[in-house]
Structure 1
């Protein structure tokens, strides 16, 4: 089966009458445009996307849909370092160190945590700098990846809020 377009996300449709077949993908493969995948039921999929979604494939993206069956992307869980900066100095230090190591950074809106794929050098830096962290087993979904490369924003402007929320806007 050849797939050229993402048909939406399973979270946005009624699935009570559908058989769900999952294609398991690691978080670091979600930005691939071309891949040969196999579903849990053995369906071989040749994915050649005409246009890759902006941040990559998301958990629950639909590759195939008919009246009885849906084939969806299921991002595999992985070990992550989950960090909750307590102040702006910690946030700045953490972002600097993560950027220096070229590690992708994810933001969990539900728990207000910054998450990065587990890397021992990052854990050592957190321990050395006194940044609280927890090692967790969870899914790193592309829609939660922090990405500052946008054609509309040449220099992002960060605004501080009392709840450590990050808001990006175009610089005046």
Structure 2
């Protein structure tokens, strides 16, 4: 099967039940799904050519004014050439990432870990932290892994996870301002 499709906009998201119902009505009740697998960092692309799981070629030319990245479940095109219509749906692959865990009561270790990640210009995503531990995710980079393992107090493991853009720390401007308490001091002691 060699079908070339052009996608200029997102038609909707199949993870939204109301859109799925709308699509079923529009397509006569029955349709099939063909998945276009993308890595997490490909979801920001506006212009790309991809091949679906069933061999359809999708030439995406998405509107640059739409600042949102592609999400899992986004419908890019509908192929009506066969007897049953086929919706081309984006599926985001899980990425191999570092799970960085730091004790919440050790802000110097947390700052050091964040500095190393920022120094490598690696994206950083919020994890599910609790009252004792701060958890963050960043894509695997061997050099970064060696740096983070060298910081006492950082627990590092490799996991597969979907990286959610809404949990990414801002890269161009700070969303939050952090300040130290006025009575916080760092004292360097000399050995002697």
Pick the TM interval, shorter chain: 0.7 to 0.9
Contact preservation (8 Å) 1:20, 1:72: yes
Name structure 1 gaps, 5 residues minimum. 161-172
Aligned length: 156
Q: Using the TM superposition, give the Cα deviation of residue 159 of structure 1 relative to its aligned residue in structure 2, in angstroms.
A: 5.5
Instruction: State the alpha-carbon separation in 2 of the partners of residues 129 and 55 from structure 1.
Output: 35
Partner of 1:138: 161
Contact preservation (8 Å) 2:126, 2:135: yes
Q: Normalized against structure 2, the TM-score is what? A: 0.68
Aligned: 1:124 with 2:146: yes
Pick the aligned partner of 1:59 from 72, 87, 105.
72
Name structure 2 gaps, 5 residues minimum. 22-29, 180-192
Q: How does 1:98-113 map to 2 (within 5 A)?
A: 98-109=117-128, 113=135
Q: How does 1:8-157 map to 2 (within 5 A)?
A: 8-13=12-17, 18-51=31-64, 53-65=66-78, 68-87=85-104, 88-109=107-128, 113-130=135-152, 131-149=154-172, 156-157=175-176
Q: CA deviation digits over 1:23-74, x for unaligned, max 9? A: 0112222211100111111111110011365352222222125895322111
Point out the structure with max Rg over C-alpha. 2
Contact preservation (8 Å) 1:77, 1:137: yes
Contact preservation (8 Å) 2:116, 2:148: no
Q: Normalized against structure 1, the TM-score is what? A: 0.75
